[in-house]
Structure 1
């Protein structure tokens, strides 16, 4: 299929192409870190990590957990600006960055405003756009809003679509994005999870370390609850935390670990609603090594994070992903996929308890294959970028179940 942006000109002999990886959120940092590492290890492409947006400081902290540092910084001073003005400021900042250090290609991840701005700024500069996690669709432009619109618009200006799963690839084909420039690679979140686990040494919070030790000794079970406080309205967050309280009261041997940023509404409400429960530990946000280590020994996870949901099957941990309308819920469509539910107190407590109680049965068998990735997604992505730049053949694709 033809692209709207011309493919790069042949590189002069000896010049290593630079590829800009745009990182605006912590989840993007987790998913792009393995790709940057793979590029640096191989040495055929030079990654340039660009941290930008409101969360630039958090992004740099997340990257540092993977042994990486941002090469460029585009900060966004919101100062009460509305979304439109903030987006315009971000576009201008990214355009200046691409001008100061012209990339041979730009990689964006996901469906955020940062990904959209990074793609459009590159497109206007006639720089090829690579979209990591391409093909995710709800098929409803109003939900999630505006993310679904960002997904579709990025696809229109993309020179290389890196889809995590065959389902995402099929979604792209349904929109006439098909052919060799769509590559199924697996999720780099899985790679990040394995890398983070290798980097883990101990928990800085002694309470968390004590819980992990107790879980590993088989003396209790643990549920990991990870929520982004910016995703939730006050009444929704109240219902979610009530559901977690009900879960704790219904499961006598269960410990809950809930990371929450200091000063956030999530932390205040968690202390108000869960602070009196002795088996709930509210801690500061955890970096990937600490978070993945806890996930690997958890009986279940309750989260709104797609990163955690994609990492969990590697450790045989079932996940309840929260989002959508109150009262809605769905069982996994395929083995290894998460349960989903809206912000409904009774539903959250009931499904989370079901997942926790299945822990003993799961310990008796080896974890099933992770349908989201096999730990080699970053290598495939790096090879696909090389292919786009004319440096090698097109890589083999990820296919769950293939030996």
Structure 2
């Protein structure tokens, strides 16, 4: 069996790689070796535990208020030594984090093929999102196999000179994870949310944490306060653990009657909260994919996005980060049922729940051990997709 190093370090990477790890484990051609950098500590560990995954190696690089340079140095130092001692035939990285960049670079240094999941996303602005846009562009220069979620992502790569033969459109693995998580009978995981199912108010699920959002977080907090002034609205804020985020947002939203602030919820509980919400308001990349898939109108707290497909489909909208614009967009959407329903149709813009199957098939084809993979084609709706148990990823409870 071919040993494949799967390098992860953050909660989003864990969510999106968990179905792939399971698919690799279930395939007799491969043995996944899971390496955690520990870039995010508590949130990463909680997510891996939810999916029943235990890393084979953990670099444990996280420190308080770490800088990008510190993360990059510690991860590269740890990965270089590990890869030199571990005989793997490919290094699989996901997305656009510091772990992604350094995992790809470490694999390149060892002359091991780099496989990039969620390849080809582009905002067109090198500094938005920062540093993710640069990270994914750099990884594209050294990857041997580019697993693009959508046809648009593949087109981005082709425009940059990547050979079409090295690109496979798989759909996004986050939809595989979401389908499994959304089917789990689980609560909200926090006592402050225990009454949510009986609360008649509209629920706005709000979060913001991106680096480029940091200077504007107080304005976002003021917008949430304005939205919550409507007695028929309840704003739920799972607050990121980053102290910079907390110091900027908490003074604006803490202690208000219609705003419920909780610590970041474990993934399964967060999915339950997304299902209960009426609107998702976030700068999170995951929310841009998960919200539309669940039929939740998604308002994106950014000026540009590398995920334009949901914007084009009308299930998500860019609303920027100004207090006035955010407040207006949310209140207008809540008060206009026709407009709301236009955004609330579940769609498989980003995946059909079989991305992990295509990822493994593409990897087998790369090694000459299987046929070419039929690409993912967007269309239809998430809710109606085939959900046969044999096709769904199976994880430990």
Normalised by the length of structure 1, the TM-score is: 0.86
Deviates more, 1:21-30 or 1:335-344: 335-344
Kindly indicate whether the alpha-carbon contact (under 8 Å) linking 2:280 and 2:296 is maintained by their aligned counterparts in 1. yes
- Among candidates 205, 209, 225, match of residue 224 of structure 1: 205
C-alpha distance after superposition, 1:265-297 (max 9, x if no partner): 444554432234212111111111111111112
Root-mean-square deviation (CA, aligned residues, Å) is: 2.7
- Among candidates 146, 154, 159, match of residue 169 of structure 1: 154
- What is the alpha-carbon distance in structure 1 between the residues aligned to residue 216 and residue 48 of structure 2? 31
- What is the alpha-carbon distance in structure 2 between the residues aligned to residue 77 and residue 387 of structure 1? 36
1:399 aligns with 2:377: yes
- What is the alpha-carbon distance in structure 2 between the residues aligned to residue 172 and residue 208 of structure 1? 43
- What is the alpha-carbon distance in structure 2 between the residues aligned to residue 361 and residue 54 of structure 1? 40
- Aligned residue for 2:345, secondary structure, equals coil
- What is the alpha-carbon distance in structure 2 between the residues aligned to residue 369 and residue 266 of structure 1? 32
Following TM superposition, by how much is the alpha carbon of 1:335 offset from its aligned partner in structure 2, in angstroms?
1.4
Distance 1:91 1:263, change over 3 A: closer
- What is the alpha-carbon distance in structure 2 between the residues aligned to residue 81 and residue 364 of structure 1? 42
- What is the alpha-carbon distance in structure 1 between the residues aligned to residue 66 and residue 15 of structure 2? 28
1:214 aligns with 2:193: no
- Among candidates 251, 255, 279, match of residue 258 of structure 2: 279
- Among candidates 330, 333, 346, match of residue 352 of structure 1: 330
- Among candidates 44, 50, 67, match of residue 59 of structure 1: 44
C-alpha distance after superposition, 1:347-373 (max 9, x if no partner): 111112233335687679983422111
Aligned partner of 2:60 in structure 1 is 75
Structure 2 unmatched ranges of 5 or more: 386-397
Distance 1:199 1:252, change over 3 A: same
1:323 aligns with 2:323: no
C-alpha distance after superposition, 1:185-233 (max 9, x if no partner): 111111111122233422231321311x125xxx221111122275532
- What is the alpha-carbon distance in structure 2 between the residues aligned to residue 331 and residue 165 of structure 1? 8
Aligned partner of 2:394 in structure 1 is none
1:130 aligns with 2:110: no
- What is the alpha-carbon distance in structure 2 between the residues aligned to residue 91 and residue 262 of structure 1? 24
Distance 1:355 1:90, change over 3 A: same
Following TM superposition, by how much is the alpha carbon of 1:124 offset from its aligned partner in structure 2, in angstroms?
1.3
Distance 1:123 1:187, change over 3 A: same
Kindly indicate whether the alpha-carbon contact (under 8 Å) linking 1:107 and 1:132 is maintained by their aligned counterparts in 2. yes
- Among candidates 108, 121, 125, match of residue 93 of structure 2: 108
- What is the alpha-carbon distance in structure 1 between the residues aligned to residue 60 and residue 192 of structure 2? 35
Aligned partner of 2:225 in structure 1 is 245
Q: How does 1:135-214 map to 2 (within 5 A)?
A: 135-211=120-196, 213-214=197-198
- What is the alpha-carbon distance in structure 1 between the residues aligned to residue 149 and residue 193 of structure 2? 32
Distance 1:373 1:359, change over 3 A: farther
- What is the alpha-carbon distance in structure 2 between the residues aligned to residue 137 and residue 287 of structure 1? 28
Distance 1:41 1:111, change over 3 A: same
Following TM superposition, by how much is the alpha carbon of 1:261 offset from its aligned partner in structure 2, in angstroms?
4.5
Distance 1:204 1:56, change over 3 A: closer
Kindly indicate whether the alpha-carbon contact (under 8 Å) linking 1:66 and 1:196 is maintained by their aligned counterparts in 2. no
Distance 1:262 1:82, change over 3 A: closer
- What is the alpha-carbon distance in structure 2 between the residues aligned to residue 19 and residue 253 of structure 1? 51
Structure 1 unmatched ranges of 5 or more: 1-15
Aligned partner of 2:73 in structure 1 is 88
